[in-house]
Every structure is written in C-alpha cells, then in structure tokens.
Amino acid sequence: MLLKFLKDPLAHFLALGLGLFLLYGALNPGGGAGDDPKRIVVDRDALLTFVQYRTKTFEPKLAAARLDSMSGDQLKRLIDDYVREEALHREAAALGLGRNDYVIKRRMIQKVDFITQGFAEAVVKLSEDDINAYYEANRKRYSIPAFITFTHVFFGTENRTPSEAMALAQAKLAELRRQAVPFSDAPKHGERFPYGVNYVERTRDHVESHFGPETTQALFDLEPDESVWRGSFLSPYGAHLVMSVNKNDARIPALEDVRGRVEADLKSERKKAQSEKAVKAIVDTYTVEVDLKGKAGMDVVGLGKQE
C-alpha cells in the first residue's frame, strides 16, 4: 500500500512539497520571512552565507574566520552590502518584478526539477525481467566493433613521390613473398612508420587515423592469412605491404558481459520517465485556458490599432 502510494505521481508532488519544506527547514532553523517585511535581521548565518556566495568558496570555517577577522570598517561595509541587497530584493519581490522575469522563472523550475529527479531515483527498482527485456530491445547499443590484427612494411613519402614509394613497395613485395618472411620479421624490412609496426586487435577508428579511410577499408576487406603478403596500399604517409593474420567481425556480446552498462542505462531511462510523470502530474493540477484572441480590444493582426 505504501509502495503503491510512493509510485503515484501525485505522491511525488506532495513529496516534492515536503521535500522543499524539509529543505528550507533544515537550512533555516528559526528563520522566516513571515514577520514584518520591512524588518531586515542581519544575523551571523546571513552574513556567512553572503560571504560564501560572494567569494564562491563554500568553506564555512574559512568564512567564519574571515568574518571574525574583519575590522570594524570592513564589517560595516559588508553589512551595508548585505542590507542593500536584501532591501532591493524585497522591493523587487513586492513590486512583483520576479513574476515576469524569465531568468528567475527558469531557475525556480530547475530547482523543482532536481528535487523531482531525486525522488524519481529513489523509486526506480529493476527486476531481472526488466533488464532482460531492455537488453533485447537495445542490443545494438552494446555491440563490439570489428577489429583486425596485422603487420606491415612501409616506405614513406616524406622525401619521395607516392609513385616512387609504390615502386619500392612493389619490389619489396616480391622479396617478401620469395623469402616467405614471417610476421615477426616485418620490422627488419622497409622504413620506420611513425605509428609502429604491429596492429593487434585494433578497431577501425584507430587504423583509419593512421592509414586513411581507403586503405583501412581495404585492410578490413582482406581475408586473414598468415602466409600471404599483400600490397601495395597507399596511406597519407606512404606505401605499405600488409600481412593480416586475424579479423573479428562486429558482434553483440551476451547480457552477462555487459550487465553493468545495461543496468545503468535502464535505471537512468526509468528515472527520466518517472520525473516526466511527476511533472505531468503537477501540470495536470492546473486548469488551462487558451485564449489567442488578445486583450483590451487589441486586434492581434492589426498591430498597434486600438479600439
């Protein structure tokens, strides 16, 4: 019964109110603006708050020390500033200046939003079925991209033209094939590639940043074979001969392997939905009248005309 009540959006609305109230109470024991609006009480708490917000440093002990170490003049100035701010704020509120100020409006909405989210989080509970269903519906999100393992022999284009590099590569290819050069001996041939010799279980993104898109596509298209040297491929840096020894296609892992992520994602989605529900419940307690015709006889179409 209590649980059902807790899930009811209206309960959230009420809890919201309670939350705000607790909030206020916890932080302003004994405080209250219910008395004389023209009476400003400057107490230690008020000054500590003021000092901390001004310096944007929320260290009460430091603020207290700072406050205590102030000279008579400094303290007077601080109090004057505080009183000025408080008085003007109350005047503004009395004049209803906050009512149509969108910035203030947004800030208040934000505050209510956070509180709603907090309660939503408390209410969300996930069952095994929930997790399974979510995983099934969103399997693609957890997919592991394809990766390959290969080595290469390189001739750079920093000091020669691409066609010269390709020619050198072609000649080297014949040699590599003739001598059946194994994977581990690749470093003995060609020149030093900036980013290394072996690529072990590397994804597309990684390979593409070194070899460029066309060559990367070609590499991923190759069928791995430990005894074959292929080439030549051209990258932004030069010509390459490649021996590809392993390729793993993109796959979707089992739920057990990604359970942590699935749970976290589902929880956050549920939290969001609960928040939305609570907000809708709040909005629904208001009656809304839509009147597009305009006020005081002013014709909306005829700008500036008055009756």
Partner 1 sequence: MRKSAFAIGFGLAAFIAGTAAAQETKLFWGDTHLHTSYSPDAYLMQNRSADPDTAYRYAKGLPVVHPYHKARIQIGTPLDFLVVSDHGEFMGVLPMLLQGDPLVANTETGRRYRKMAAEGKEIEIFGELIAQVNKVIPPNPDLNNEKVNRTVWGEIMDAADRHNEPGKFTAFMGWEWSSTPNGANLHRVIMMRGGKNSGKQFIPYTSFDSDQPEDLWNWLEKTAKTTKTDFLAIPHNSNISNGLMFPLVDSKGKAITTDYAKLRMRWEPIVEMTQIKGDSETHPKLSPNDEFADYETYDHLIAVEGTKKQTMFSEGFLGGLSERDRKLIKQNEKRISEVGDYARTALMRGLVLQNRVGGNPYKFGMIGSTDSHTAMASAEEDNFHGKMALDSTPGTKKEDILPGTPGWDMGAAGLAAVWATDNTREALFDAMKRKEIYASTGPQIALRFFGGYDFGAKDAEARDVAKAGYAKGVPMGGDLTKAPDGKKPTFLIHAVRDPKSANLDRIQIVKGWLGSDALPKEKVYNVVLSEARKGGKAGPVGNTVDIKTGKWTNDIGSAQLAAVWSDPDFDPNQRAFYYVRVLQIPTPRHTLYDAIALGIDPKETGRPATIQERAYSSPIWYTP
Among the candidate windows 69-77, 111-119, 128-136, 240-248, which touches partner 1 by CB under 8 A?
A: 111-119
Residues 6+ apart with CB under 8 A from 82: 42, 46, 47, 50
Whose structure tokens read 């590099």? 165
Pick one of 42, 70, 79, 121: the residue that binds partner 1 (CB under 8 A): 121
Confirm if 250 and 145 have CB atoms less than 8 A apart: yes
> In angstroms, rounded to a whole number, what is the distance separating the alpha carbons of residues 150 and 28?
66
Note whether 185 binds partner 1 by CB under 8 A: no
Please, which residue, 251 or 294, has the CB nearer to partner 1?
251
**Nearest distance from C-beta of residue 191 to partner 1, angstroms:** 9
Torsion-angle region of 304 (φ positive above 0: left; ψ -120 to 50: alpha; else: beta): left
> In angstroms, rounded to a whole number, what is the distance separating the alpha carbons of residues 66 and 55?
11
Tokens in use for 154? Answer: 């390189």
Residues 6+ apart with CB under 8 A from 236: 211, 212
Among the candidate windows 48-56, 221-229, 246-254, 275-283, which touches partner 1 by CB under 8 A?
A: 48-56
Confirm if 190 and 155 have CB atoms less than 8 A apart: yes
Strand-pair partners of 244: 150
Beta-carbon neighbour count of residue 10 at 10 Å?
Answer: 13
31-43 in b/e form (b: 16+ CB < 10 A) is eeeeeeeeeeeee
Note whether 56 binds partner 1 by CB under 8 A: yes
Please, which residue, 27 or 250, has the CB nearer to partner 1?
27
Note whether 53 binds partner 1 by CB under 8 A: yes
Which residues ranging from 187 to 216 are in contact with partner 1 (CB under 8 A)?
Answer: 187, 192, 194-195, 197, 209-210
Note whether 146 binds partner 1 by CB under 8 A: no
> In angstroms, rounded to a whole number, what is the distance separating the alpha carbons of residues 39 and 31?
13
Which residues ranging from 257 to 276 are in contact with partner 1 (CB under 8 A)?
Answer: 260, 264
**Nearest distance from C-beta of residue 297 to partner 1, angstroms:** 34
Note whether 57 binds partner 1 by CB under 8 A: yes
Note whether 10 binds partner 1 by CB under 8 A: no
Pick one of 158, 221, 249, 291: the residue that binds partner 1 (CB under 8 A): 158
Confirm if 47 and 79 have CB atoms less than 8 A apart: yes
**Nearest distance from C-beta of residue 255 to partner 1, angstroms:** 17
Q: How many residues bind partner 1 (CB under 8 A)?
A: 51
Distance in angstroms between the alpha carbons of the first and the last residue of the chain: 60
**Nearest distance from C-beta of residue 288 to partner 1, angstroms:** 19
Among the candidate windows 14-22, 74-82, 219-227, 250-258, which touches partner 1 by CB under 8 A?
A: 14-22
**Nearest distance from C-beta of residue 172 to partner 1, angstroms:** 16
Whose structure tokens read 């996930």? 126
Binding characters for partner 1, 221-250, by CB under 8 A (x = yes): ----------------x-------------
> In angstroms, rounded to a whole number, what is the distance separating the alpha carbons of residues 49 and 120?
30
| Site residues, partner 1 (CB under 8 A) | 14-29, 33, 45, 48-49, 52-53, 56-61, 93, 98, 104, 108, 110-111, 114-115, 117-119, 121, 158, 187, 192, 194-195, 197, 209-210, 237, 260, 264
